[in-house]
Amino acid sequence: MFRFPGTLPLVPFRLLLYKGIPPVKTRFLLLCVAVLLLTSCASTEVVNTWKDDTQSQQFTNVLVVVVNKVPAYRTLIENELVDTIKKSGADAKSAATILPNTDLTDEATASSAIHDAGADGVMVVRLVDTTKEQVYTPGTTYVQGAYGGRYNRGWHGYYDSGYRVTNTPGYYSEYNVSTVETAIFDTATNKRVWSTITSTTETREIDAIKSFLKAIRKPIQESGLFQ
């Protein structure tokens, strides 16, 4: 099953608290950083790309199959990949239009649909691994007033400044790293001729999908398998 879990991690950061910044401004800066983290996009890295050097045939009609139990996500990803293949020179079709999720597990039904579609190539996208990672974000402490300035206010000013402290507690964040394989098969030989492994650090689910689609576009276009 190909999926992008919807875990929402907070990427570790360290806010530098400068001397003389009032606590209110410090809290405002913390809020700004939190907002940026919550709205940040996922990050996808292309880990590895493989191609069968003996493959000389270029594909003219490709059926795109995304293994995902959520119909909306499956359709979204397939349509975007269809568009990428078409821009690379070949015709392409989303398998969701002819193969609902229930039929994907039936090899005979799937093979018949591929034959009826006239596809000479099949692109399959599936999740191969998901790992959880935990990161600790340390807390911060800010004492109002510059160090030198505190001494100029006498013993009471120095003593009183100890009460004007802003603390932000540390916390643990857990997030998923999804490894996805995108592979192309020759329907004449039923052999894999090209594949790419990507790794996506996930924030919001829709951002993870968009990040994957953006990252996979270049490897597909540079594969040289379409005409």
Q: Where residue 104 sits, what CATH number does that domain have?
A: 3.40.50
Residue % of the chain over a pLDDT of 90: 43
Please calculate the CA angle 86-128-122 and round it to the nearest 5 degrees: 30
- Identify whether 17 is part of a domain: no
- Identify whether 212 is part of a domain: yes
Q: What is the pTM of this model?
A: 0.69
Instruction: Please tell me the predicted confidence (pLDDT) of residue 14.
Output: 33
Cα(101)–Cα(87) distance, integer angstroms: 27
Q: Is the dihedral of CA 103, 105, 111, 114 positive or negative?
A: positive
Lowest mean pLDDT among 28-32, 107-111, 150-154: 28-32
- Identify whether 31 is part of a domain: no
Q: What's the mean pLDDT when you consider all of the chain?
A: 77
- Identify whether 162 is part of a domain: no
Q: What's the structural domain count of the chain?
A: 1
- Identify whether 66 is part of a domain: yes
Instruction: Please tell me the predicted confidence (pLDDT) of residue 102.
Output: 67
- Identify whether 209 is part of a domain: yes
Measured CA to CA in angstroms, residue 76 lies from 8, 11, 42, 55, 131 at distances of: 21, 27, 17, 29, 24
Domain region containing 122: 41-137+170-221
- Identify whether 89 is part of a domain: yes
pLDDT: which is higher, 217 or 41: 217
- Identify whether 198 is part of a domain: yes
Residue 89 CB neighbour total at 10 angstroms: 14
93-115 as b/e: b if 16+ CB within 10 A: bbbbeebebeebeeeeebeebbe
Cα(59)–Cα(90) distance, integer angstroms: 7
